[in-house]
Amino acid sequence: MKVIIFGATGMVGQGVLRECLLDPRVERVLAVGRTPLEARHPKLQELRAESFLDFSGAEAEISGYDACFYCLGVSSAGMAEAAYRRITYDFTLAAAQVLARLNPGMCFQYVSGAHTDSSGSGRTMWARVKGQTENAILALPFRSAYMLRPGFIQPLHGIRSKTRLYNVIYSLAGPCLAALMKRFAPGLMVTTDELGRAMINLALEGYPQPRLEIADLRKACAGK
């Protein structure tokens, strides 16, 4: 399987990239982003994106892939809706639309969030915008598309978030919170490893429904 990853320098993307490089079922990985990766691997290639709104100059490089793991995202904290929508909706759809045209047999996976508003019309800004993004992706002519809605994500192997506030929270409370959740509420948490494995399995094995909550992600991680 040949995979494209958007957002491979973020916390989720780092975990997904790591699992793709470790999994022998993934033969090639193209990481699309603006920041160079620290990782080096024979099956890893990078594509430096000049713009996340226009991929017309990179169509040859992003053709011929079986799956796209879209992990690019931003926290809505302190952001106006227009700015948040530009990154969350506009960037995502610009990539998804060109990939659907170039790779109609592709499995496209979008890392959304728990409590996303599927109606796309609720009061909570981030949930509304993510819901609109999910709906727009699902309307595209991909072979399959999955909307992933993780809740608490535990970063492993030294992976860090690009959001400073999240790093502070994970540094101060992350280990204790993860231990408590693992003991008392294991169904509400996934690790970066588990999320990466779930995405690979989804691309290869599929799933009965397009929107996956945490319980579904854990099932997908286990595979068939």
- pTM recorded for the entire structure: 0.90
Confidence of residue 164 (pLDDT cuts 50, 70, 90): low
Token pair for residue 126?
């981030």
Is the four-CA dihedral 199, 4, 54, 96 of positive or negative sign? negative
**Domain span at residue 182?**
2-222
Torsion of CA 180, 75, 111, 172, to 10 degrees: -20
* Residues 63-113: tens digit of each pLDDT: 999 999 999 999 898 999 999 999 999 999 999 999 999 999 999 999 999
Measured CA angle at 161 (ends 156, 164), to 5 deg: 135
Number of structural domains the chain divides into:
1
Using the structure block, give the residue that is written with the tokens 């999910």.
134
* Position 25 pLDDT exceeds 70: yes
Question: Which residue has better confidence, 39 or 61?
Answer: 61
From residue 152, how far is each of 15, 67, 120, 142, 159 by CA, in Å?
14, 25, 22, 28, 15
2: exposed, middle or buried (C-beta count within 10 Å: 0-12, 13-18, 19+)? Answer: middle
From residue 186, how far is each of 11, 26, 179 by CA, in Å?
20, 28, 9
* Position 199 pLDDT exceeds 80: yes
- Residue 43 sits in a domain whose CATH number is 3.40.50.720
CA 136 to chain centre: 16
